[in-house]
A and B are shown apart, each in its own frame.
Chain A
Amino acid sequence: MYKTIIGLEIHAQLSTKTKAFCSCQADVFELEPNTAICPVCTGQPGALPVLNKTVVEYAVKAAVAFNCSINLRSSFDRKNYFYPDLPKGYQITQYFTPIAENGYLEFKLDGNEKRVRIRRIHIEEDAGKMIHQDADSISGASGSLVNLNRCGVPLIEIVTEPDISSPKEARVFMELLRDTLRAIDICSGDMEKGALRCDANISVVDEESGTSSNRVEVKNINSFKFVEKALEFERERIIKALEQGTDVDRETRTWNFTKRETISMRSKEEENDYRYFPEPDLPPLQLSGEFVEKVRKNLPELPQQRVQRLIQQYGIPEYDASVLGSDVKISLFFEEVSRVTGKPKDASNWIMTELMREINQRGIPIDEMPIGPEHFKVLFQLLDQGKISAKIAKELFPLMVETGKTPDQLVKERGMEQISDEKLIEEIVLRAMESNPKAVQQYRDGKKNVMGYFVGAVMKETRGKANPAVVNEIVRRLLES
């Protein structure tokens, strides 16, 4: 048996308006290269950093949400290394005293309670970005372009203890972390856009012999799926080495998206000496207890608290609550629909299946959807009153999303009312029995599933609008009479 030990280092880009140490725009994802830069973030001679207060507030929000103890006095340090995308030659970070330490995040996985401890959260600035021509790295490239827009974009780095014991757990942890960052509204959580980045340390222990493998670092994992995939790959690679009586190198690897495997980036010997030392351009960061308390008090509901509340308040199953509760906007919408319709379980069903499908397919976030709780209210009424079938309702739903019209409008416009007229249905059934006496005989001989044939005939003729309950009832009565 092998035990897997995983620790994560996560960089979350803070969704502040301006950068960490200057007033340049911070959301640079879609900007033309080198358009959101100034003397400070490009490290011009003589320029000095000034700390953005919102960055501190966001970091404290994260610290509170992740149950950390907050250092009222923290400080900034320089991490020195040479790279063309690092215009000052150093990154401002918090190395010696981070803003927060000793937190944790708890979640349920496969029925078990899991707690992952968080070692520290610190503030730092991002570096720029390079595009290398004709090569993967700067060495061997025929040319390299530098985009400094990202320089100075504020990040927090969240470092876990090595408490994660499987690749799947790593993924679930990352998802919960993202949901939490979104809930407290400090990070978009989009891994694909680089707003959330993950490096993982993994080692494996052979529990029989007690031997432990070298630790491998997997860097630059850029999707939740790849967190799991890369670590699974790495886990297998390490176990294979252990089984052959050897070990993997202690090195840094990266997940290769196209080859679906990790590849070596550099060995431990090539690691930089970052020459950390206190940043002399920024005084220590002194927070007041009141400031922290204010942030704590104004912290919005976190995903797990919300899940528990949804279960209790609306009586929906835990599964539903966890799906709805992971996203603050979805869960708010659910609560609104429940309130307006008075039917939480129906609301949950419709939102989890039909609405989420529409959101995913159309790529439109819920707050930009043209339908609101009223639409659900009318829809549920039409169903209750038997004016439409469940099948029709499901057909109606995408039309509602597309047009923004209420279901009763659509039903009227398109003549989709359910037919419950017994006489009409009786006539159709009788006609069908006349034209297929053989089937009638089969039913009466005990082949009960022939009934479906007659139901189908009615549906075909009414173009699906017949009330299925009424049709079933009439078909059975007539066949058995």
Chain B
Amino acid sequence: MKRDFLNYKIAELSELQDDAKRKAIAYFHERITAFNPELNAFLEVLPLSANYSSGSLSGIPYALKDNILARGTRTTCASDILKDYISPYDATVTARLKAEGAVLMGKTNLDEFAMGSSTENSAFGPSKNPWDLNRIPGGSSGGSAAAVAAGLVPFALGSDTGGSVRQPAAFCGVVGYKPSYGLVSRYGLVAFASSLDQIGPLTRCVDDAYAVFKTIARKDINDATTINNGVNLKANDLPKIDLKGIRIAVPSDALDFEGLDERVKSRFLEFVERLTEKGAKVSFIELGILKYVVATYYLIAPGEASSNLSRYDGVRYGERVESENYEEMIKKNRDIGFGDEVKRRILLGTFTLSSAYYDAYYRRALKIRRIISDRINKVLQEHDFILNPTTPTLPGKIGEISDPLTYYLMDIYTIPANLAGMPAISVPIDPVDGLPVGVQFMGKRLSDLQLLSVAKEAEKLSGAYENGLAKLPERWLHV
């Protein structure tokens, strides 16, 4: 029986003969062409090309979130202000994937400049959740998550500033992994909040996440925040880990959070039960910091964003509006170039960085960030991992939520990993009413391999998988 390319893991795809690989590339290209009009996962689909080098990802099709540069392609950040921007160089991750033979199929949709949790804030329209086209795929890497969840590509890269890889992975029923800060170069990732941003893969299994991670992670001379000797990436396979005796902390304050959907909570507790049955030592602990994380995040991230986005002034990028003077001109340019959410965060960031308020807000947020980090470190000295639902809710309907604060609170479980620079991964567990649910493991800084190993064990306890890969919704199975 001829196996469908959808049932291959990355390692298996890369072992195909050249003609089979070319067929696989054409197959995924055909799927993208057929399904993207409904999903709006891709903002740009590249012409079919079978040029690829040999390497560990030889001939593997993939997609890039459209805030990551690939020389010669448009990088819009889903913003009007960059709609005509052609990348003049390759991001480090792009170059490394290319060097290992991966084949870029296109650029995926996102919340403008990665600001949002739904991929509704795109200048080019929202992406759809492959499980229910009326629902959001999550964000901001919603296009990448939808592309992987509908089987348009075996993997896609996203960027995760407060949960932007893990949350859409949870909403779309795929694996989303944010590596430890500093392991993956940000060179060529359009900056949102530099001290929090980290590029991570969206895949249909943890093995695939590891295969991609192995290729993109390591010190980059172009990114001074990358580190040496963080993690041993030589091994072909993930180290084995035994769930027996593993110490897992579940923050009970996360489960007490009033925004937590009861259905998500019960699925999560069922999953915890399965872990316990396998011998994991689960303790419910008081993390004690959750009530501060959203506030801290929304001081630091917009502060950095307001600075990172000041280069888009309509002089070099975007449309230029004729004006009386320079100040007037940049005001008008930025007014027509940016969407509401981006403007909201720029205003917030500009305010909190202003000299009159810096001490009261930004400096204090930096201190609290340190406290949050210390607290997580403390818990992770006593436990191997922290486990919680990836998101408090199921994916909502497109256009349903108009209050930005409600969205901000939806990142409460994912933000701590970004504030503390820890690795974290979302793995799909059994769905509720046909909608995916994810759980998140967070590990110590630079414990990425152990984290991936435990996530791989978790996959075995999940009802979301078939033959080692996350299941796809029926409707996308056949072109």
Contacts and interface: CB of A to CB of B under 8 A. Distances in A.
Interface of A: 39, 42-51, 78, 80, 82, 84, 87-90, 138-140, 146, 273-278, 280-283
B354 A275 contact: yes
Contacts of A280: 193-195, 225, 304
A271 to B, nearest CB: 10
Contacts of A80: 306-307, 310, 353
A272 to B, nearest CB: 10
B189 interface: yes
Interface stretch (B81-89, B287-295, B445-453): B81-89
A170 to B, nearest CB: 29
Interface string B334-364: 0000000000000000100111101000100
Contacts of B104: none
Given A89-B307, A139-B325, A45 B190 contact: yes
Nearest to A81: B310
A46 B326 contact: no
7 contacts: A45-B191, A46-B187, A48-B223, A48-B225, A80-B307, A280-B225, A281-B191
A89 B315 CA distance: 11
Contacts of A140: 325
A87 B190 contact: no
A275 B347 CA distance: 13
Contact of B307 (A45, A139, A277): A277
Interface in B315-332: 315-317, 325-327, 330
B188 interface: yes
A50 to B, nearest CB: 5
Interface in B292-315: 303-304, 306-307, 309-311, 313, 315
A17 B58 CA distance: 40
Interface string B183-206: 000111111011100000000000
A39 B89 contact: yes
A89 B310 contact: yes
B279 to A, nearest CB: 40
Given A45-B75, A48-B223, A283-B224, A275 B188 contact: no
A88 B311 contact: yes
Nearest to A45: B190
A278 B317 CA distance: 26
B54 interface: no
B190 A82 contact: no
A278 B365 CA distance: 13
A118 B429 CA distance: 63
A50 B313 contact: no
B311 A43 contact: yes
7 closest A-B pairs by CB = A89-B310, A280-B195, A280-B194, A275-B353, A46-B188, A45-B190, A89-B311
Given A275-B350, A275-B355, A46 B311 contact: no
Interface in B161-203: 186-191, 193-195
A45 B326 contact: no
A326 B304 CA distance: 46
Contact of A281 (B77, B221, B225, B356): B225
Nearest to A137: B326
A58 B36 CA distance: 55
A147 to B, nearest CB: 14
A403 B283 CA distance: 92
B398 interface: no
Nearest to A79: B307
Nearest to A138: B326
A90 B307 contact: yes
Contact of B326 (A39, A90, A139): A139
B310 A88 contact: yes
Interface string B215-246: 00000011111000000000000000000000
A123 B372 CA distance: 32
Nearest to A85: B315
A45 B77 CA distance: 10
Nearest to B186: A48
Which of B85, B191, B326 has the most chain A CB atoms closer than 10 A to its own CB? B326
B313 A82 contact: yes
B209 interface: no
Nearest to B353: A275
B53 to A, nearest CB: 23
B69 interface: yes
A281 B366 CA distance: 16
B417 interface: no
A78 B349 CA distance: 14
Contacts of A42: 316
Given A82-B330, A138-B326, A277-B303, A89 B313 contact: yes
Contacts of B350: 275
A275 B307 contact: yes
Contacts of B97: none
Contacts of B91: 46
A451 B28 CA distance: 112
Given A50-B223, A50-B224, A281-B194, 18 more contacts: A39-B88, A46-B87, A46-B91, A46-B188, A48-B222, A48-B224, A78-B307, A82-B327, A84-B313, A89-B309, A138-B326, A273-B356, A275-B306, A275-B350, A278-B366, A280-B195, A280-B304, A282-B224
A46 B317 CA distance: 14
Given A39-B89, A45-B69, A48-B187, A281 B224 contact: yes
Contacts of A282: 224-225
Contacts of B355: 273-276
B468 to A, nearest CB: 34
Contacts of A84: 313, 315, 326
Contact of A45 (B82, B327, B358): B82
A229 B195 CA distance: 47
A92 to B, nearest CB: 11
A277 B194 CA distance: 12
A420 to B, nearest CB: 74
A422 B310 CA distance: 87
A276 B352 CA distance: 11
Given A44-B88, A280-B304, A281-B194, A49 B224 contact: yes
B307 A46 contact: no
Contacts of B330: 82
A117 B26 CA distance: 71
A275 B186 CA distance: 24
A49 B311 CA distance: 15
A277 B89 contact: no
Nearest to B185: A48
B224 A51 contact: yes
A310 to B, nearest CB: 45
Nearest to B89: A39
Contacts of B309: 89
A56 B138 CA distance: 44
